[in-house]
Amino acid sequence: MLSLKENVFETLKNGKPDAFVNEWEPFPQVWEPITYYMLPVQQGGPPAKDPWGTTLVWGENEPGAMPLISDETKVCPDITKWEKYCKAPDIENVPMDWTQAQADAKKIREEGKFVMVWLFRGLFEQAHFLMGFEDTLMNFYDEPEAMKDLLAYIAEFKKRQIRILVDNLKPDVIMFHDDWGSKTSMFMSPDQWREFFKEPYREIYSMLKKETLITMHHADSYLQPIAKDLVEIGIDIWQGVLPSNDIQQIKKDTDYKLTLMGGLDSRIDRGDATEEEIRAEVARACREYHEGGCFIPCLTYGGEGSIYPHVNEIIMDEVRNQSKIYFK
């Protein structure tokens, strides 16, 4: 029987795993001081400003914090003057205590699992957190050079953040969060994504590869038109792949070089979801996506668990049942 780590490596290389990787089981997240510093709100708590100046709110029964953008709260009202408004946090000079995070990482390694940290709010998300969703999309057309300059500035901040994480924790996996689409389409054309995002992300993921890290990118989106690009820029795992993507076709299009983590319809994450309904959705995903490997059944959220606790417990139990069917 393979260890949790061995089973992940076999899945990534499209080898011979002996079970489905069960959601986040091998990838416990280490909560470290940069994340606490960058995320000053708690679920169900009052709004608060993050170090970039964005007002955030995290509602109850919501999977993450979101920006409150108005004329009064918008950090960057004019992209042509972004250097005046947008100031990256000086995280190198913020006092941070890494003791607990390092202890957590040590415990995870002793358990034979991967130490994973996350970089929430990637280049696109950070841009629309600063100026609003509509302004961001319009600025790709109206002020493309200024947008490229701002994205480069954000990318440099992310590289600094990665360096601090690597120096202090030496993680095995870094999960980057950046949603580039809705359930049925991308927020921009594939060519526009390539113009603004492909090279900055290639640089970021090249940096991670030099550290021999597993690269995981969260995007619970429809991204099928750029699936090959995800491989080209160095992503190992696309986490959050929605079932509205043709998951089996993506495997073929990427020559089985991209592991797809997700595939479960998040509509099962409800307080009134029945056990039968949850198990049926897990069984459907495993049945439809197991062929050819490179698949990790999971809710499409960008982190462990579910909004309603009973849901995730049933999902993980049913994944174990499905492994007995497809990995004899």
Span 187-198, pLDDT tens digits? 999 999 999 999
Q: Give me the pLDDT at residue 328, please.
A: 75
Write b or e for each residue in 238-275: b if 16 or more Cβ atoms lie within 10 A of its Cβ, otherwise e: bbbbbbebebbebbebbeebbbbbbbbebebbeeebee
Span 154-172, pLDDT tens digits? 999 999 999 999 999 999 9
Q: Give me the pLDDT at residue 166, please.
A: 97
Q: Which residues contact 302 (CB under 8 A, 6 or more apart)?
A: 63, 64, 118, 120, 175, 177, 218, 220, 239, 240
Q: Is residue 199 exposed (0-12), middle (13-18) or buried (19+ Cβ within 10 Å)?
A: middle
Taking residues 217-229, what's their average pLDDT?
97
Domain residue spans of the chain? 4-326
Q: Give me the pLDDT at residue 136, please.
A: 97
Span 35-62, pLDDT tens digits? 999 998 888 889 999 999 999 998 887 7
The pTM for the full model equals 0.95
- 4-326 adopts what CATH topology? TIM Barrel (3.20.20)
Q: Give me the pLDDT at residue 234, please.
A: 97
Q: Give me the pLDDT at residue 105, please.
A: 98
Q: Give me the pLDDT at residue 307, please.
A: 87
Is the pLDDT reported for residue 134 higher than 90?
Answer: yes
Using CA of residue 90, residue 134, residue 250, residue 276, what is the dihedral sign? positive
Is the pLDDT reported for residue 63 higher than 80?
Answer: no
Q: How confident is the model at residue 87 (pLDDT cuts 50, 70, 90)?
A: very high
Span 101-132, pLDDT tens digits? 999 999 999 999 999 999 989 999 999 999 99
